Chains A and B, each alone.
Chain A
C-alpha cells in the first residue's frame, strides 16, 4: 500500500494556516476574519490527524492490536465541537454588532480603547 508522505499534509496545513493569518490581518469584514480563524483551526486539525495516522501506521506494523496514535484522531472531534460552539458565540456577537452599528467592518470597532 502506497502511503502519501507526511510532507504533503504539512504543506497543505501550512498553506491553510498562512491563508488564515493573512486573511485575519488584511480583511476588515468580521465574517471573513471569522472564516479565516476557522481556516487556521482546521489547518491544525489536518496536521493533527495526519501525524496521528503516521504514528499509528508505524506502531501497527509492529503490533496489530495497538491503539497508539489514535488519540489525536479523537481529539480532533473535540476541537470541532469546541469550534462549532465558538462559531455560534462568534456569529451571535457579529449579529449583535450588526444590529447596533449596521456594519461588520472591524475598523469601526475601536471601543476597546475605552
Chain B
C-alpha cells in the first residue's frame, strides 16, 4: 500500500493540470468527469489506506520521497506520514470533497466552459494542497499545503472576479491568512533553531528536553497560524466575507476542510501542547470566546450563507475549546461530524440559492418545504445534527466537548452550553425562515421554484446519511462501555488526557438531560418566533442592531488597522516617496547639472590658462608625492 500513497495527492494535481491547461478545449461534461473522477479515485485509495492503517499490527509509517532542502545540518525532506490521524483526515477530505465535486458539476452548470474548467482546476488544486497539508511528515510540507489551500481559497473566493466586492473579500481572506501564516512560519524557524529538525517524529521526541517557555512560545506561534486559517478571534472576519465564493466552495473550503487545518495542526502537535499548559489555556479561551461571539452574531444575520459562516466560526471555536482542554480526540471527532453536517447545510443552502435564482436573503424566502422536499429534509437533518439532538452526529461530538470542558473548568462549560443554545436558536431561525411559514419572495420566483437535479440531491442525501450515522463511531462510555471506536483508533497518535477525574454517570445524565431540554426549548422558541406568523420588521434597535451589524468588528478593524495603515501609506507616498526619495533622485541629477555648468567655465579655450592649470596640478602632485604620508 505504501507504494501507492503518493497517488492520493497526485491525482488531484493531475486533474488540476488537465483542467487548468485544457480549459479552452475541454467540454464541460469532460471537465466535471475528470475533476470528480480524480477525487473519487483518490477517495478509493484513501479507503485502501484506511484499511491498511486499521489492520492490526500497523505502525505509523514515514514514506520518504526526496530532499526538498538539504543544507548544512538541516534536512527537509518531502515525505508523507501515514498514521491514524492523517488517514482520518484523508477520508474526510476526499470523501466530502468527492461529493462536493459532484454537486459542483450541477451547481455551476450555468458557467461558460473555460470558467467551469477553471473552477474545477482550482478545486482540484485545493484538494491537492489540503492532502499535502495532512499527509506531510514534517511542518514544512504542512506549511506548503497550508499556503496552497490559502491560495486556492483566495482564487475561489474571487472566482467571480467581475464583481469588485468579491475581489475585496478574496483579498481580505488572503491578507488575514497571511498574518496567521507569519506566526506559523516563525514557529517553524524556532523549531529549526531549537531542535534542528522539523519532522514530527524528531520534534516530538526532543520536545521534553526543551524548556517550557520555548515550547509555550512555539505552540503560541503555531496557534497564531491556526487563528488565521481557522478563523478565530481576532482573525475571523475573513470567513464570513469568504461567502462571496460559489456555495460548494464555501461548503468544501470554508466549512468542511480548509478551516479545520488549524485543528489538525494542533491535534498533530498535541505532544507540544500538552507540554505547554499556558498555550492550552490560550487555545481554550480564544476558542470559547470565538464560539460565543460568533454565535451571537449569527443570531441576527439575514443572509443564508452568512448565518452558516458565523455558525462555522462558532463551531471551530468549540473545536479549539476541545483542543485547549486537552480533549484532542473530541476536537478531531467534531471536525469529522462538522464536516458532514456543515457541508450538508451549505450544500442545502446552495440548493436553495440555486432554486431561488441567487437570492440569499432568508427574509425573502419561506415556505420552501413543499417545493424542495429533498433539500428541506436533508437541511432539517443537518440542523438537528448541528444542534446536537441524539442520535444525530453532532450530539456525540458536541456532548464530548461539553463534558471535557466541564472537567477542565465549569466556566468553559457554561460558555459552551450558551453557544450550543444560541446555535440551536439561530439554526432553527434559519430553518423556519427558509422552509417554514409563507413565501415572502416574488410570484415569479415562486413559480420558478424547483427541486435541484439528482447530481445535487445525491450529495445532500449522502451527507445527510453521514450526519445521522457519523457520530456512532464515538459513542461515549456513558451509553456503552468501550464503544468509542474513534478514540481507540486514534489512541496511538493522541495520548488520552492523563488524569481526569471522571464525572459520576448520574451527573452526566443529569447535565445531558438539562442541555437537551434547553435545546428543545430553544427550538420551540425559534419556531414560535419565526414559524407561521413571522412578519418582517425592518427596524432593528439596541442589542439586535449591534448584532445585525456584527458587533461593528469590521468597522472597528477598519478604524484601528485599515485606516491608520492607509493613512500611513498615504503619508509615506506623499512625504517619504514624493519628497525624500524623489528629492534624492532629482537632487543627484540637479547637482550633476549644476556642477557641470560650473566646470564648463574652466574650459575657456585659452591655451595659457590650460598650461597654467597643467603646471599647477603637476606641482600639486609633486608636493603630494613628496610630503604627503598616508
Scan A12-26; emit 1 where CB is below 8 A from any B CB, else 0.
Answer: 000000000100110
Scan B157-192; emit 1 where CB is below 8 A from any A CB, else 0.
Answer: 000000000000000000000000000000000000
Is B605 in the interface zone, CB < 8 Å from A?
yes
> In the complex the two chains form, is A110's CB within 8 Å of B611's CB?
no
Q: Quick one: closest A residue to B611, CB to CB?
A: A24
Complex interface: chain A residues within 8 A of B608 (CB): 25, 28, 106-107
Complex interface: chain B residues within 8 A of A112 (CB): 603, 605, 607, 610
Q: Quick one: closest A residue to B616, CB to CB?
A: A25
Complex interface: chain B residues within 8 A of A102 (CB): none
Is A111 in the interface zone, CB < 8 Å from B?
yes
B375 to chain A, nearest CB (A): 92
Complex interface: chain B residues within 8 A of A106 (CB): 606-608
Complex interface: chain B residues within 8 A of A25 (CB): 608, 611-612, 615
A24 to B611, CA, bound (A): 8
Complex interface: chain B residues within 8 A of A28 (CB): 608
Is B604 in the interface zone, CB < 8 Å from A?
yes
A112 to B604, CA, bound (A): 8
A51 to chain B, nearest CB (A): 19
> In the complex the two chains form, is B607's CB within 8 Å of A113's CB?
no
A24 to chain B, nearest CB (A): 6
Scan A97-114; emit 1 where CB is below 8 A from any B CB, else 0.
Answer: 000000000110111111
B365 to chain A, nearest CB (A): 89
A112 to B603, CA, bound (A): 8
Q: Quick one: closest A residue to B618, CB to CB?
A: A21
A52 to chain B, nearest CB (A): 24
A114 to B604, CA, bound (A): 9
A36 to chain B, nearest CB (A): 10
Q: Quick one: closest B residue to A28, CB to CB?
A: B608
A109 to B610, CA, bound (A): 12
Complex interface: chain B residues within 8 A of A21 (CB): 615
Complex interface: chain A residues within 8 A of B607 (CB): 106, 109, 112
> In the complex the two chains form, is A113's CB within 8 Å of B615's CB?
no
A7 to B406, CA, bound (A): 112
Interface residues of B in 609-629 (CB under 8 A from A): 610-612, 615
A110 to B607, CA, bound (A): 7
Q: Quick one: closest A residue to B619, CB to CB?
A: A21
Q: Quick one: closest B residue to A111, CB to CB?
A: B605
A106 to B611, CA, bound (A): 12
Q: Quick one: closest B residue to A112, CB to CB?
A: B605
A114 to B607, CA, bound (A): 13
A106 to B615, CA, bound (A): 18
A111 to B606, CA, bound (A): 8
Q: Quick one: closest B residue to A24, CB to CB?
A: B611
Complex interface: chain A residues within 8 A of B610 (CB): 112
A28 to B612, CA, bound (A): 13
Complex interface: chain B residues within 8 A of A110 (CB): 604-606
A109 to B606, CA, bound (A): 7
Complex interface: chain A residues within 8 A of B604 (CB): 110, 113
> In the complex the two chains form, is A107's CB within 8 Å of B615's CB?
no
Scan A77-114; emit 1 where CB is below 8 A from any B CB, else 0.
Answer: 00000000000000000000000000000110111111
> In the complex the two chains form, is B611's CB within 8 Å of A107's CB?
no
A28 to B603, CA, bound (A): 18
A108 to B610, CA, bound (A): 14
A111 to B610, CA, bound (A): 13
A14 to chain B, nearest CB (A): 13
Q: Quick one: closest B residue to A113, CB to CB?
A: B605
> In the complex the two chains form, is A107's CB within 8 Å of B612's CB?
no
A21 to B610, CA, bound (A): 13
Scan B589-612; emit 1 where CB is below 8 A from any A CB, else 0.
Answer: 000000000000001111110111
B114 to chain A, nearest CB (A): 67
Complex interface: chain A residues within 8 A of B615 (CB): 21, 24-25
A107 to B604, CA, bound (A): 11
Interface residues of B in 136-157 (CB under 8 A from A): none
A25 to B611, CA, bound (A): 7
A63 to B585, CA, bound (A): 71
B191 to chain A, nearest CB (A): 72
Complex interface: chain B residues within 8 A of A114 (CB): 605
Q: Quick one: closest A residue to B600, CB to CB?
A: A113
Scan A30-47; emit 1 where CB is below 8 A from any B CB, else 0.
Answer: 000000000000000000
Q: Quick one: closest A residue to B603, CB to CB?
A: A113
A12 to B100, CA, bound (A): 107
A75 to B252, CA, bound (A): 96
Complex interface: chain B residues within 8 A of A111 (CB): 605
Q: Quick one: closest A residue to B612, CB to CB?
A: A25
B263 to chain A, nearest CB (A): 82
Complex interface: chain A residues within 8 A of B603 (CB): 112-113
Complex interface: chain A residues within 8 A of B606 (CB): 106-107, 110
B536 to chain A, nearest CB (A): 90
Scan B57-93; emit 1 where CB is below 8 A from any A CB, else 0.
Answer: 0000000000000000000000000000000000000
A107 to B606, CA, bound (A): 6
Complex interface: chain A residues within 8 A of B611 (CB): 24-25
A113 to B600, CA, bound (A): 9
A28 to B608, CA, bound (A): 8
Scan B443-477; emit 1 where CB is below 8 A from any A CB, else 0.
Answer: 00000000000000000000000000000000000
B187 to chain A, nearest CB (A): 71
Scan B238-271; emit 1 where CB is below 8 A from any A CB, else 0.
Answer: 0000000000000000000000000000000000
A17 to chain B, nearest CB (A): 11
27 A–B contacts, CB within 8 A, in A order:
A21-B615, A24-B611, A24-B615, A25-B608, A25-B611, A25-B612, A25-B615, A28-B608, A106-B606, A106-B607, A106-B608, A107-B606, A107-B608, A109-B605, A109-B607, A110-B604, A110-B605, A110-B606, A111-B605, A112-B603, A112-B605, A112-B607, A112-B610, A113-B603, A113-B604, A113-B605, A114-B605
**Among all A-B residue pairs, the 4 with the closest Cβ atoms:** A113-B605, A110-B605, A112-B605, A106-B607
Known A-B contacts: A21-B615, A28-B608, A114-B605. Give 18 more (CB < 8 A).
A24-B615, A25-B612, A106-B606, A106-B607, A106-B608, A107-B606, A107-B608, A109-B605, A109-B607, A110-B604, A110-B606, A111-B605, A112-B603, A112-B605, A112-B607, A112-B610, A113-B603, A113-B604
